[in-house]
Structure 1
Amino acid sequence: MSPRGRLDPTVGKARAMVGALLGIKTTGKNLVVENPPLILVGCSGGPDSLALAAVCAFFATRGEVRVGAVVVDHQMQAGSAEVAQATAHQLQELGLDPVVVRTVDLKHDGGGPEAAARAARFGALEATAHELGASHILLGHTLDDQAESVLLGLARGSGTRSLAGMRERRGIYLRPFLGLRRDETLAICEALALKPWHDPANQDRAYLRVRVRNAVIPFLHEELGPGVAESLARSATILGYDADFLDQLAEAEFAKLAERSAEKGPDAHITLPEDELRALAPALRTRVLALAAVELGGVQPSLERLGAAENLLARKGSAGPVQLAGKVSAWRISRNQSVPHEGRSYGKLVLRRST
């Protein structure tokens, strides 16, 4: 701890961030709440998530919330079970309760090991939160993680939502440290005498994110000057506002235009009127098409696939089907088919997910 028992300023800063997101004051009289809500910290044992767990433990002592943790063992490295158990033990010593260790099996679907690990991790976190009745899951992503996400999005040619990076609030997930630098979480660990685990994968240049972290951002810092990470994170915040607004408009248009079939299961489909789709701005039109695909059980289509679906609206060439993503296809009723022009399907785009 700091000399003379003073609160380390970085620890105080982190407490303020967590308290603001939870709606809890960090100073003043403790408020004991009957049946306080349970929050969970997703903790790998690394400096970021361990610092977050320690900061959250402070709020557990105040009686306004209960704080537990979930440690996910991805089984991607030798000794991962031992690392998970050591992390769980340290969390218990901090006073977190319950502390749950979840071992997951990765399902590789072509997205690479990082994507498979992420899907398994979030699945385990959400399942545990549901089982324990937790109100929120807190994650230790930092400003540096946010900057890396923006650069990765740029490199992949991603859209507004991807470039907006991670959100401070997203469903049951809270990320209070998005304004905190990675070296500050290390400082918290040192101030509180924590023993974080340093994942060797964070130095493996086989991973694109590691190359961005250890080579690209330092290069930009050297060539463009300090503050690059902060500028990238600020761009993510601005784009996040834009993406939220466009998503809201698109959801309103989708609710107005979408006609859902009475059939369920493999025969379920959604129709969208062509004329109204054409009238939408491109930013809304692609979002409406994506919403239909996701509602049918597909996944977010790429810009190229959405563009192919948009081309159907020109009524030139093929009437489809066009494959989107997640086994969802789109087509239009061809003019040369013997259907009445005033019929239910004519003049509409049809989306269906195959089994």
Structure 2
Amino acid sequence: MKPSFRDPISRGRRVTLMAMLAGALPTLARAQAYPARAIKLVVTQAAGSGSDVIARLVGDRLAEALKQPVIVENRPGASGIIGHQFVLGAPHDGYTLLMSSTANLLVVPVMASNARFRYTDFTPVAALLESAYVVVVANAPGKPSTLKELLDAGRTRPLSFASSGTGSMGHLGAELILERAGSPQRHVHVPYRGSAQALADVVGGQAAFAVDTLLAAEPLIKGGRLRALAVTSAHRLDSLPEVPTLQEAGLPDMDVTTKAGIFAPSDVPPVVVTTISTAVSRILAEPNVRATLRSLGNEPSGLSPAQYQASLSDEAPAWERLVRRLDLRME
């Protein structure tokens, strides 16, 4: 006689459990699907800024790729602190992302006592670009015509220089250039709430020079109101082929660039990073997107999220040393 085994789950209960499981599968699938609704991409600069233009370019293409709206929301102020802390305060579910850069992540938290974040609070979701800057003065009689003339003037008297904000890459780029030139003076930094105001005061003679983005400076250069003395990249820019690099202008082995990308809080679900980075990689491979980024003085990034994170970790100590050495503070 064969032994018999009694099923502890009755046929009726088994049917009920199978029905419950079948009903739960669509819910589980929806919970794992990303994105299932609109994504907010926070930009820490004003509408019309370089970051804003790039965020909208990438955001529009990302919306097409993901089949969900990508809403660019500007939250400028306090050198990016407002936008960064807004994203950290939102749910960490991948539906509130941040466009940020080297200065915002690595410099501002060191300078500002009211910054309640560090770069380690965020994880790179997608690397977007690396960008250069332009050293400009007013295009007027008596103004320097070369970077050497500007730096020579700075060795004999303090210069005022404008930037789009304390801790911005334009601010730090100017400090680095003056320091590398061996200037003994304590120069005067004049921060503004954006590039437009900063460059207007350079044109008007209230500030001796500025280091700013190609997007902000090029119209004034082409219009004859600003004079470009140097670009901060290792190679000349296609849009300003006649303007020398810092190295060509007399500062060996020097370039000042910043990386920018899309970030999320560090504990965001991994599917967010995978989904966004894959889509952005395809977007950055498109010829028209690459051409647009390069026309704005940027080089499309080829870094993976892990490589971008490693780059931030490598750069962070150097930027912190610079801030401490120059005793830069933002109240």
Q: TM-score, normalised by structure 2?
A: 0.27
Higher RCO (C-alpha 8 Å, min separation 6): 2
Higher helix content, 1 or 2: 1
Higher strand content, 1 or 2: 2
Q: TM-score, normalised by structure 1?
A: 0.25
